[in-house]
Amino acid sequence: RNFYYITILRDPVSRYLSEWRHVQRGATWKASLHVCDGRSPTIEELPSCYTGDDWSGCSLKEFMDCPYNLANNRQVRMLSDLSLVGCYNLSVMPEEQRNKVLLDSAKENLKCMAFFGLTEFQRKTQYLFEKTFNMNFISPFTQYNNTRASSVEIDQQTQKRIEALNFLDMELYEYAKDLFLQRYQFTRQKDHQEARRKRQEQRKILKTRHAHKRDQIDNATTDYVEDVEKWR
């Protein structure tokens, strides 16, 4: 079997707010083992942000204040090879070095995926998916801008803090957006070139047919003239 890895990225601030609202409603990731290099992290390596069954009802400030919150830079963490930095053991290397390794790994893995899209560009994502895998969806993707995240009103200070907490995701997203739009433009140009080539081929076929038809008419006319001469 051939396995194709794909992913969809989202604007980091919107994604963070969306996860907060999800957690606020009682969602947990208790079933996630976070296995890395053959083992799950210890409680010391990955402490919990809350006590009890879930973190329902938590405020945005509480959500941002937890230093162990896996919502921070989640997209980079999930796309990178954590074994390169000692998994969840933060003492393996300095924080600055760890961040650089994770970001570089996430960018490389994203670039090598068979396909990735962006939530903020639904129609372009659909177009690239269809062209990449040579298949068509029954109906067009819809761009929903009114989401749970968009319904959350935050001030500029909170916005800046969320961006700071997700600074790796912010950089990854800018890289992903640039690469995504490059791929989109390249595929569109390739599409236009292919359509132009088909039109040129079609014109050649029609031109050949018209020339052949003219030859047939000329031959028929010549034969008729020759017959008339004989009849005289």
Nearest to 148 by CA among 7, 55, 64, 24: 24
* 202 within some domain: no
Q: Give the residue with greater pLDDT, 146 vs 185.
A: 185
Give the residue numbers spanning the domain of 143. 6-194
Query: How many angstroms separate the CA atoms of 23 and 57, rounded?
Result: 8
Total domain count for the chain? 1
* 224 within some domain: no
* 64 within some domain: yes
Nearest to 172 by CA among 88, 79, 97: 79
Q: What is the pTM of this model?
A: 0.84
- How does pLDDT run across 37-47, given as a tens digit for each residue? 999 999 999 99
* 55 within some domain: yes
Query: How many angstroms separate the CA atoms of 58 and 143, rounded?
Result: 29
Query: How many angstroms separate the CA atoms of 97 and 225, rounded?
Result: 92
* 217 within some domain: no
Helix residue spans in the chain (DSSP H): 12-24, 60-65, 74-79, 95-112, 122-133, 156-165, 167-231
* 174 within some domain: yes
* 40 within some domain: yes
Residue with tokens 């650089």: 100
- How does pLDDT run across 53-90, given as a tens digit for each residue? 999 999 999 999 999 999 999 999 999 999 999 999 99
